[in-house]
Amino acid sequence: MNLEIFDTYEILSYNVAEQIISAIIKKPEALICLAAGDTPKRSYEMLVQELKARKIDYGKVHFIGLDEWIGISPENPGSCQFFLRQTLLSPLEINAENIHLFNAMAEDIHKECEKMDNIIEQLGGIDLIVVGIGMNGHIGFNEPGVSWNKNSHIANLDEVTQKVGQKYFSTQTQLTQGITIGLKQLLNAKTALLLANGLKKASIIKKALEEEMTENIPASIFQKHANGLVFLDRESSSGLS
């Protein structure tokens, strides 16, 4: 694991965008898995701007959405899909066949996991996965206690996740389950990038990176990722010794 600390959220975001751009330049048909959420928002805005300004050919890149709230429609602005489309996929005019998002409204939700696992396998594995960290140490919807040996799966959401998740929705919304890429797929990714910013993440970042690795803090898996990168802003790193 490689740790980098940047002075501000803006500089952190710029460096995240550059990582994604490097992955695309290195492999124009890269498979990139992206988290939604507040943390990567500015990175994606910068990514869109830079890809266009530098006329980088991103037409062959395949994008996967990391996770989704089960039962929340893609038209709901609080859904991960809405966020990814609005922030990145639509401004970049990515072809539908290069976009792979969980359908959280599917009747057979387990089939969605199978479909995603097959796509990842057929496309030769994830080249770059960009994730945030939840206040309880989750990654995507890999909730505390999850096995590190899981591919895509359905998760019952931890209380903290249900509560914190309200911030994405304009009205009180029932959030009970999520569908997510698994930690096995994160471990197998050629590069995994964990981001955090802000003081509120300082304590969970310390636990994830400095305490013993444990399935109770899913993000602590980064301690053993051979090609794991952790990018923090100064504030979220402030608890580290």
Catalytic residues, by residue number, are: 67, 136, 138, 143
35 forms part of the interface with ligand GLP (CB under 6 A): yes
218 forms part of the interface with ligand GLP (CB under 6 A): no
With beta carbons less than 8 A apart as the criterion, state whether 223 and 213 touch: yes
C-beta of 35 vs 217, nearer to ligand GLP: 35
Q: Which residues of 130-158 are buried (b: 16+ CB within 10 A; e: fewer)?
A: bbbbbebbbbbbbbbebebebbbbebebb
78 forms part of the interface with ligand GLP (CB under 6 A): no
Report the SS3 class of residue 69.
Answer: strand
Stretch of 31-39, 54-62, 91-99, 212-220 contacting ligand GLP, by CB under 6 A? 31-39
Among 6, 9, 141, 231, binds ligand GLP (CB under 6 A): 141
* Angle, helix 9-26 to helix 41-53, in steps of 10 degrees: 50
Among 16, 30, 67, 237, binds ligand GLP (CB under 6 A): 67
Determine phi and psi for 146, rounding to 5 degrees: -65, 150
Report the SS3 class of residue 240.
Answer: coil
With beta carbons less than 8 A apart as the criterion, state whether 221 and 208 touch: no
6 forms part of the interface with ligand GLP (CB under 6 A): no
Task: Evaluate the CA torsion angle 106, 110, 115, 121 in order and state its sign.
Answer: positive
x/- site string to ligand GLP, residues 142 to 161, per CB under 6 A?
A: -------------------x
Burial of 118 (0-12, 13-18, 19+ CB in 10 A): exposed
Among 4, 10, 29, 38, binds ligand GLP (CB under 6 A): 38
Stretch of 34-42, 70-78, 98-106, 147-155 contacting ligand GLP, by CB under 6 A? 34-42
Rounded CA separation 224/70 (Å):
30
132 forms part of the interface with ligand GLP (CB under 6 A): yes
In the complex, minimum distance from the CB of residue 59 to ligand GLP, in angstroms, rounded to a whole number? 26
Stretch of 122-130, 131-139, 208-216, 232-240 contacting ligand GLP, by CB under 6 A? 131-139
Stretch of 30-38, 95-103, 108-116, 120-128 contacting ligand GLP, by CB under 6 A? 30-38
**Among candidate residues 184, 162, 58, 59, the one with its CA nearest the CA of residue 116:** 184
- Residue 131 pairs in a beta bridge with 194
39 forms part of the interface with ligand GLP (CB under 6 A): yes
In the complex, minimum distance from the CB of residue 185 to ligand GLP, in angstroms, rounded to a whole number? 14
Residues lying near ligand GLP in the complex (CB under 6 A): 35-39, 66-67, 131-132, 134, 140-141, 161, 165
